[in-house]
Amino acid sequence: MKLSFTASQETFRTEISEWLETRLTGAFSDIRGVTSQTAAAQRRILWEQELGRARWSAIGWPEEYGGRAADLAEQVIFAEEYARARAPGRLGHMGVELAGPTILAFGSNDQKQRFLPSISAGQEMWCQGYSEPNAGSDLANVNTKARLQEGPSGKQWVIEGQKIWTSLAQFADWCFVICRTEPASQGRHGLSYLLVPMHQPGIDIRPIRQMTGESDFNEVFFDKAVTAEENIVGEPGKGWQVAMGTLSFERGVSTLAQQMHFRNELSEIIALANANGKSSEPLIRQRIAKAWRGLQSMRASALRMLSHTDAGTLTGPQFTYKIFWASWHQQLGELAMDVMGKDGEMTGSDYQLSDLTRLFLFSRADTIYAGTNQIQRNLIAERALGLPKEPRG
Amino acid sequence: MQFEFTQEQTMIREMVLDFSRDHASSQQIRQAMATEQGYDQKSWHAMSVDLGLAGLLVPVEFGGQGLELIDTVLVFEQLGGRLLPSPLLETAVMAVTLMTSLADEALQRKWLPRIAAGDCAVAFARLDNGVAEYVIGAQGADVLILCEDDNNHQLTILDGGPGHHHGAIKVSRLTMLDQTRSMSRVEMLPAQKLNGYQAGKGSLAAAAANRAHQFSHIALAAEAVGAAQSCLDMTVDYVKERHQFGRAIGSFQAVKHQLADMMVDIEAARSAVYFSACSVSENPAQLPEMASLARVQASEALTHCAAEMIQLHGGIGFTWEHDAHLYFKRARSTATLLQTNSELDEIIAEQLGLNSQVAS
């Protein structure tokens, strides 16, 4: 077990941090520190392209697809430096973290050639079409349907249905969609994983206004939307396995970037407590210490997880990580409000939120999306602890 | 950067697991609890002499194994799974860390080989105004180290244990809630001269004493993680067996979710303990907050898991016969050993730069 990095890894760290610093004090200084999902979207798409040109966008990918074939330690360093520099949240992450790795793992050669370079170059943005009004925690209950029909230029999939909670759909060029391609099939069987272009008449995007007053998520309606026959990843009817593959990619290096972001939030709370005198209250001091402990534990858990990525089996922290960070982050939001006092409850005249107030509200979603806390507890109990399965109707 | 265990570390773990199987049954633990010195001589011999665990942190040149704290942590995690009383913490971690932190070769040459050979149990008492309350392992110690914090941190090593220094010190065994740890009150008798080895004083002595406690916090944390894991394992076994309403109670979500929450706390604490143990050698300056991180995180996990173990066992978990109460009481004594959790959190708060003065 070793926590430190080698000299060449530290050189790599210097290279990335200098590159980021130059860009973020220069051409992209206006979007430094932007954390909300949707703010300054057009500028952030240009930022994605800037990253892509310098091959910093998808460093873990093979070089032929625009990556650097970076090893795990380098990916960790990149994630840390990216967040340390307060570089903007990645608008391209659905492509880089989810669609891309799925295509790399399950896609055909043609699909890799077609899609991967444009993802790593920041030329095409992606969104995820998984959840539906009746397929939330019970994701296998997907009801969006696709059937293969003759189109103007060969066979194409024709898609009907509705997706919901689709982040960044309004900026996306493509969506990866799980839908039912075998009529009358049920549950995990008969689903397929389709890649669907977003710019077409059959797709209607409606933003959802959240409790924050902002709209990070959308409903996406498919009304005879189409995609070419070859835009299917894996075999028809075997989409569930591909989709689960995508979910497992979510537990990778990005957790470390997320933690650096959390660290920035905690630092802001500490600075605020020192500034307004709350830092002298024993209860606040204790809660800040506890938050720091949680953050350190997360970092250590991420390092444990990353050390086991090739082992094939899931280890303890892989089961417990999601519920831990989500619950921790929610408590951080509550702590932020207690440190801010009444000031934290004040909004801008158009209900604009400060970063910490947004954290307080938005973190209610953390324990819901990507597997609710209840679902996480079921997974831990049944898969990690081997307890009997809940009888299912 | 590398965060996985070597083959050697895995072997250490398995060796200790075998030891626990042979020496740490519920009956053996209860017998050891009832001894006068606070531990069973035979199992201590097996641990310290046969397995060489007392010399884990002793440098090779003094006959020890010269291992790092992270290796030691694995041993304590495994041992913590069972609650076998032993003087390992105070001897192999506290005393050895104190001695290796002092630049005194004569001292090291005199005692470290003896400790490494499993020849002596050592206890360490920090006295204020001639008294140290709640000293772990003092009653059964063969060597007693005193640090007079109110007297320029004067360090004195008394060979032969309390029995050989009747006139100068008084050691009184305390009856405590947690019977798996031997605790005593150590008192210097007024106007008596200590006949021991003068091992230094001043800021160097204080730094060594603090470091000894900080290393102990991390070992203690590892032990708590092992204990919490046992609480979870035993409870999972129980809820798979126990049937009510025609099904195993472990199939009810109300029960499952409590167990899942136990695992969440345990994994976070385990990560924190490994992380802090590694950081000790790589970033020594961070030792105070890393010790606090490990100790509090693990102590809270054990407190939670031991309480849930009782709850999920129902009535049987409330009996003297079942081991659940031993874990519950161990959790309590862990939360207050050397320093309380809130004192340790205050160390973190200070390190984070939180001003304690009210802004004017």
Q: For the ranges B101-115, B143-157, B159-173, which has the lowest average pLDDT?
A: B159-173
Using alpha carbons, select from B116, B174, B165 the residue that is nearest to residue B144.
B165
Instruction: Identify the band that residue B3 occupies on the pLDDT scale cut at 50, 70 and 90.
Output: low
- The CATH homologous superfamily to which domain A126-237 belongs is Butyryl-CoA Dehydrogenase, subunit A, domain 2 (2.40.110.10)
pLDDT confidence bin for A309, thresholds 50/70/90: low
Handedness of CA B198, B202, B208, B211 (dihedral sign): positive
Residue type, B285: A
Minimum distance, in Å, between the CA of residue A167 and any CA atom of chain B: 28
Q: How far is B111 from chain A (nearest CA, A)?
A: 30
CA distances from A352 to A36, A37, A348 (A): 12, 14, 5
CB A230 within 8 A of CB A324: no
Which residues on chain B are in Cβ contact (under 8 Å) with A281? Answer: none
Residue B299 has pLDDT above 50, yes or no: yes
d(CA A211, CA B322): 49
> Given A270, A294, A317, which is nearest B354 (Cβ)?
A270
Question: Does residue A304 belong to the interface with chain B, where contact is any CB pair within 8 Å?
Answer: yes
Size of interface A-B (CB pairs under 8 A): 178
Task: Supply the pLDDT for residue B181.
Answer: 96
Is B353 in Cβ contact with A378 (below 8 Å)?
no
pLDDT at B163 over 80: no
Q: Does the CB of B348 have a partner CB in chain A at under 8 Å?
A: yes
Task: Tell me the percentage of chain A whose pLDDT exceeds 70.
Answer: 95
A392 token code pair: 């299912």
Q: Is the Cβ of B228 closer than 8 Å to some Cβ of chain A?
A: no
Nearest to A387 among B251, B356, B357 (CB): B251
Please give the ipTM for the structure prediction. 0.95
What tokens does B91 get?
Answer: 């001897």
Query: pLDDT class for B107, splitting at 50, 70, 90?
Result: very high
Interface residue B242 vs chain A (CB under 8 A): no
CA distance, residue B308 to nearest chain A CA (Å): 15
Mean pLDDT of A131-137: 93
Which one, of A145, A223, A136, A221, lies nearest residue A184 by Cα? A145
Which sequence spans correspond to the domains of chain B?
A: 206-351
Interchain proximity A3–B1, CB inside 8 Å: yes
Quote the strand ranges of B30-182, DSSP E: 122-127, 131-136, 143-148, 154-159, 169-174
Per-residue pLDDT tens digits for B10-27: 888 899 999 999 999 999
- Give A7-91's CATH code, choosing from 3.30.479.30, 3.30.420.40, 1.10.540.10, 3.20.20.70: 1.10.540.10
- Determine how β-strand A174-180 pairs with β-strand A126-129: parallel
Tokens at B153, concatenated: 């941190």
Average pLDDT taken over every residue of chain B: 94
The whole-number average pLDDT for the span B46-62 is: 96
> A210 and A216 in contact (C-beta within 8 Å)?
yes
Tens digits of residue pLDDT in B134-151: 999 999 999 999 999 999
Q: Name residues whose C-beta falls within 8 Å of residue B125's C-beta, 6 or more positions apart in sequence.
A: B132, B135, B138, B144, B145, B146, B147, B186
Residue position matching structure tokens 């360093």: A77
Among chain B residues, CA nearest to A319: B264
State the DSSP string of A335-373.
Answer: HHHHHHGGGGG---TT----HHHHHHHHHHHHTTTTS-H
* Chain A interface includes B261 (CB < 8 A): yes
Of B253, B269, B352, Cβ closest to residue A292: B352
Residue of A nearest to B294 (CA): A293
- The domain spans of chain A are 7-91, 126-237, 251-384
| Residue A281: strand, helix, or coil | coil
B:10-69 residues touching chain A, CB 8 A cutoff:
none
Which of the 8 DSSP states describes residue A97?
I
| Residue (of A51, A129, A93) closest to A257 by Cα position | A93
Cite the DSSP H helix spans in chain B: 7-23, 26-33, 41-45, 69-81, 88, 96-101, 105-116, 202-241, 253-282, 287-313, 324-334, 341-351
Q: Quick one: pLDDT at residue A310?
A: 46
Topology at the third CATH level for domain A251-384: Butyryl-CoA Dehydrogenase, subunit A; domain 3 (1.20.140)
Task: Find out whether B102 and B204 touch, Cβ atoms under 8 Å.
Answer: yes
B4 → closest Cβ in A277, A300, A308: A308
**Are A290 and A112 within 8 A, CB to CB?**
no
pLDDT reported for residue B109: 97
Distance CA A168, CA B108 (A): 64
Question: Are A199 and A183 in contact, with CB atoms under 8 Å apart?
Answer: no
Active site residues of A: 250
**Token pair for B90:** 């105070």
Q: What is the mean pLDDT of residues A278-303?
A: 95
Amino acid at residue number B252: F
The token pair at A16 is: 């990335």
Q: What's the CATH number of domain B206-351, 1.20.140.10, 3.90.1150.10, 1.10.10.10, 2.60.40.420?
A: 1.20.140.10
DSSP letter at B209?
H
